Chains A and B, each alone.
Chain A
């Protein structure tokens, strides 16, 4: 469909302006010298300096990164297993319940998930802290990983696995040597998705964290409630920059891989 009408061009321009202008304003005003966020008073990087001095913020950032790393790693393992089971295994007892439990957390309002997990931790007497946040984040992000991985598993040729099995590989070897390399890009993007979901989560972390563990979103939320502050703008800019660089790098790497594969296939053919 290569027929861009003026209407299409206008809707694309307006759409992307709507998506990007708010973030652009946020970034520009993080370099504002004035404490007032809406009045421009010259270029300055002092808010970045103040942010780096803010030890509570840095502690929170550290907790957040640790939680995100552990939860996304466990979630990737569990989510990949779940996807493999759902796509590759035939019917098993309670399959409907299993697939329901994979899809429901994707849309479940966070207040419900957060509340229910907190009540579970209290019922079993688990002290709230980094561990409980990791458990909670793993639970909902493994579902996202599983959806990403199963969409890749659906499209790839099953006969490759069967060939490996016929040639004498064990089921685990076939998975490690054939399936895993092919689904690796999906597993990696699942991990990245789980990582950012964890970095970003406010509601579930608020319910399941204790006084010993404050994550960055909890910190940001409590300061934002008091109004706009240039320090938060600076922090947001750093986060936006990291995400942009990360996503762009990931997409360039995967594009290179695809074009290399296409080249190799062309040579082989």
Chain B
């Protein structure tokens, strides 16, 4: 009974989460071939040991060498990192004041405010990205509004630029930033602020010296929750970004679906995974510390 309790979910994750990575790694070492499935060599388990060693011999790091030789991939990784990093900062700058305001709101309002943050999170991600196409296009609502109030004379090109991608990321990932920060701020003991003020801190000093350090676990969790998925984001750059916005998620998708080059797509995924291992491990440690503390 007990064994089943551990065994079933464990086995499920091993087979459907861990083993697939092994397969991705194996295919990243294979070669592209015009066949179904489009790679070679294929492992034939029934063919004995000799076939297996031959199979191992046919694997090589050619695809990884290819990734370094074509600067499209290199640029895509760098630009994804840059976009993920900047949009995490933007999301923090937008999200923190909202979380802070929520935590300072009267207690009776808080459940309603929390609901207002969670509601968009339950609504379709795709639809929320789609909503911005109509707003950011040349004849879209934002341009109409700016022309009407007279800030600009000619419509701005916003859709299919990096700006649109940043807006899309901040918009869709905002709840992931607000919720962890809010939960740390809400738990905060208000008398600490009073103590700081009694001891001669100004309001601003108390914020920097007391509130911010206490909110740190929430800020860290929020930043990871935005940064890690954004790095491999596909939907936002493909709907809001143009051809100039290179992101690795989009490159992987195109390599797989348009070029049908599965070995190169797998190599792209493996490198993305290697880049992500460090932030993922840091995120887990932060979470583990939170639940224990």
Contact = CB atoms under 8 A, between A and B. Distances in A.
Interface of A: 1-5, 7-9, 11-12, 15-16, 18-20, 22-23, 25-26, 29, 37-38, 78-79, 81-82, 84-85, 89, 92, 94, 98-105, 107-112, 115-117, 119-120, 122-123, 135-136, 138-139, 142, 146, 150-151, 154, 171-172, 196, 199-200, 202-203, 206-207, 217, 220-221, 224-225, 227-228, 232, 236, 239-240, 243-244, 246-248, 251, 255
B5 A85 contact: yes
Nearest to B178: A15
A240 B131 CA distance: 12
Nearest to A218: B126
Nearest to A109: B232
Contact of B141 (A11, A38, A146, A243): A38
Contacts of B257: 206
A82 to B, nearest CB: 4
Nearest to B170: A18
18 contacts: A1-B103, A1-B190, A12-B98, A19-B117, A22-B171, A89-B6, A92-B6, A101-B14, A103-B287, A104-B17, A110-B232, A115-B266, A116-B269, A119-B24, A199-B124, A200-B124, A217-B124, A247-B118
A111 B249 contact: yes
Contacts of B139: 38
B269 A25 contact: no
Given A12-B113, A107-B224, A109-B231, A139 B106 contact: no
A238 to B, nearest CB: 10
A115 B283 contact: no
Given A15-B97, A202-B235, A111 B130 contact: no
A8 B126 contact: no
B12 to A, nearest CB: 6
A255 B102 CA distance: 19
Nearest to A236: B127
A202 B155 CA distance: 32
A251 B115 CA distance: 8
B72 interface: no
Given A12-B105, A247-B115, A224 B130 contact: yes
Nearest to B132: A22
A225 B188 CA distance: 45
Nearest to A203: B234
The 9 A-B pairs with the shortest beta carbon distances in the complex, nearest first, are A109-B232, A116-B20, A11-B97, A15-B98, A8-B101, A22-B131, A107-B228, A82-B9, A12-B101
B12 A78 contact: yes
Interface string B130-168: 111111010111001000000000000000000000000
Given A23-B131, A81-B8, A2 B104 contact: yes
Interface residues of B, number: 92
Contacts of A18: 94, 171, 174
A104 to B, nearest CB: 6
Contacts of A138: 12, 16
A28 to B, nearest CB: 10
B246 interface: no
Nearest to A81: B9
Nearest to B119: A247
A15 B228 contact: no
Contacts of B273: 112
Interface string B256-280: 1100001001100100110010001
A170 to B, nearest CB: 9
Contacts of A251: 111, 115
Contact of A26 (B127, B262, B291): B127
B38 to A, nearest CB: 10
A116 to B, nearest CB: 3
Contacts of B291: 150-151, 154
A104 B133 CA distance: 31
Contacts of B141: 25, 38
B105, B130, B283: residue with the most chain A Cβ atoms closer than 10 Å: B130
B13 interface: yes
Given A105-B17, A116-B21, A220-B126, A19 B269 contact: no
